[in-house]
Amino acid sequence: MAKRISGSYRDPNGQVFVDNGRIIRTVNQCYADAYKKIKAEQIFEKAIAAGYLIGTQEISVSDVAGLDDNAAYLLEHESVPYVSYPYEWTFSSLKRAALHHLKFHLFLLKHGFSLSDATAYNIQFFGTKPVFIDALSIIPYTDESIWNGYQQFCAQFLNPLLLTAKKGIPFNSWYRGSLDGIPTSDLLRTLSLKDKLNWRIFTFLNLHARAERKVIAAANQTEGLRIDQQKQIPLKRLTAMLRQLHRWISTLSLMETDSVWHNYANKNTYDAEENAKKQSIVKEFVNKNKLETIFDIGCNSGAYSEASIMGNAKYVVGFDFDHQALEKAEQRSIDKDLNFLPIWLDASNPSPGQGWQHTERDSFISRKCADGILALAFEHHLAIGKNIPLEQVISWLVSLAPRGLIEFIPKSDPTVQVMLSRREDIFKEYNKEIFENLLSNHAKIEQTNIVSKTGRVLYEFSS
């Protein structure tokens, strides 16, 4: 029986279901005429071939049981390796997603079609390559129509990027706390007068915010604006606007800020021989267990994520809290064309179930899909850095996949010594023997390897 994906409830044109791993989208009667035009012009096929739209094909309505009676057609989509959300993306990922959305919109306009909205949740990733997933957002273009998605594009793409590029404030926590993005009026409050006088910000944000205020004022005085009172945009002007936004966003870059761990890959307690040994262990672990999907918890710049792929993993999702390190990981994935997606994660506060009924956006734990994890030079950040009981750290890590590598960092290690130099040592039960006992309570220890002169140990487990 097909199960509805709760996050698709907003779309009257159709909903998304999972049926034995297949991703099925209904096409409701209200969208049937638009769909017929799309079919006639082979828009899906053209968009897929151009690399904009996720793999999509029509299937028989009778092919899947348990769907709405309102379905006029059924579509089957290619599934993505890992579902991620904009508030978990790096700056560069959100930027690429924004550019992808704009280029896709321009592509559609050339073929007589448009997009009905501009939500960032319509983008997913294969590695670092963005792809558009909501086929029913494609609509026939109507002459002189307004761009209904403009406010949404600003809130979910442009404003978060500007917050980080102009002020050095990571957008992730704000975005996660406000699932519809960062409103233009809120962003403008963070910008300086000099920022606001920038001609692009003035044109695309200040004037738009003023127009929003006029609409609100008019709505308070009357029963609301009629649609024909709103300003329409000719095709030529809309195309120019999209191109201007594309050029502007292309110039945005992550503001350089101090980061504790961004250079960890080059400055750490491992010498070259120890680092090579550790990478060899990772490759062997992945290869001998024939692991396909790896979660690299605390991936830093992605060296061991890459080692996993060299060990024949098909896909790696790397998680880290340090934005600068994640940017390096992402650049590694791009430069080497890896099936590797770096994601922002505060492991002490991972993404919860959010939105309507707490199910519109799935939690981090409900999206776990790995058959192996790496937690290298990581556990001490939770156990000592965050005061999380070691037993709970181990229990959580083991719950993420049936097999894994966990590295234990002893108190004598220079990194832990630096952490303890700034606080009282209240961690009397943090030692190798207790770590082994706790891990043994949750999983089977397959083997151990000492990987540094400072006494760091890699534990391979299965559960």
pLDDT in the model for residue 256: 74
What tens digit of pLDDT does each residue of 64-123 get?
887 767 789 999 999 999 999 999 999 999 999 999 999 999 999 999 999 999 999 999
Average pLDDT over residues 26-51: 97
341: pLDDT strictly greater than 90? yes
d(CA 444, CA 321): 29
How many percent of the chain have pLDDT more than 90?
81
pLDDT in the model for residue 3: 87
Provide the residue count of the chain. Answer: 463
pLDDT in the model for residue 421: 92
pLDDT in the model for residue 67: 79
The closest alpha carbon to 457, from 403, 347, 379, 371, belongs to 379
pLDDT in the model for residue 234: 87
Average pLDDT over residues 51-67: 91
Query: Quick one: pLDDT band at residue 209, thresholds 50, 70, 90?
Result: confident
pLDDT in the model for residue 144: 65
Query: Quick one: pLDDT band at residue 355, thresholds 50, 70, 90?
Result: very high
d(CA 269, CA 377): 11
HEC states along the chain? Answer: CCEECHHHCCCCCCCEEEECCEEEEEEEHHHHHHHHHHHHHCHHHHHHHCCCECCEEEECHHHCCCCCCCEEEEEEECCCCCCCCHHHCCHHHHHHHHHHHHHHHHHHHHCCEEECCCCHHHEEEECCEEEECCHHHEEECCCCCCCCCHHHHHHHHHHHHHHHHHHCCCCHHHHHHCCCCCCHHHHHHHCCHHHHHCHHHHHHHHHHHHHHHHHHHHHHHCCCCCHHHCCCCCHHHHHHHHHHHHHHHHHCCCCCCCCCCCCCCCCCCCCHHHHHHHHHHHHHHHHHCCCCEEEEECCCCCHHHHHHHHCCCCEEEEEECCHHHHHHHHHHHHHHCCCEEEEECCCCCCCCCECHHHCCECCCHHHCCCCEEEECCCHHHHHCCCCCCHHHHHHHHHHCCCEEEEEECCCCCHHHHHHHHCCCCCCCCCCHHHHHHHHHHHCEEEEEEECCCCCCEEEEEEC
Q: Using an 8 Å Cβ cutoff, are 353 and 363 in contact?
A: yes
This model's pTM is above 0.85: yes
pLDDT in the model for residue 229: 45
Least confident of 189-193, 235-239, 268-272, 289-293: 268-272
What phi and psi, each to the nearest 5 degrees, are found at residue 383? -70, -40
pLDDT in the model for residue 206: 80
Assigned superfamily of 272-462:
Vaccinia Virus protein VP39 (3.40.50.150)
Residue 295: C-alpha distances to residues 33, 118, 267, 403, 429 (Å): 43, 30, 24, 11, 28
221: pLDDT strictly greater than 70? no
Q: What is the dihedral of CA 274, 275, 277, 282, to 10 degrees?
A: 140
d(CA 123, CA 131): 6
267: pLDDT strictly greater than 80? no
265: pLDDT strictly greater than 70? no
The closest alpha carbon to 23, from 134, 139, 179, 137, belongs to 134
Average pLDDT over residues 117-139: 97
pLDDT in the model for residue 201: 93
List the structure tokens of 157. Answer: 């793409």
Give the list of residues 6+ apart from residue 259 with CB closer than 8 angstroms, or none.
Answer: 322, 323, 324, 325
Enumerate the domain spans of the chain: 3-77, 86-251, 272-462
Q: What is the dihedral of CA 61, 62, 63, 67, to 10 degrees?
A: 70
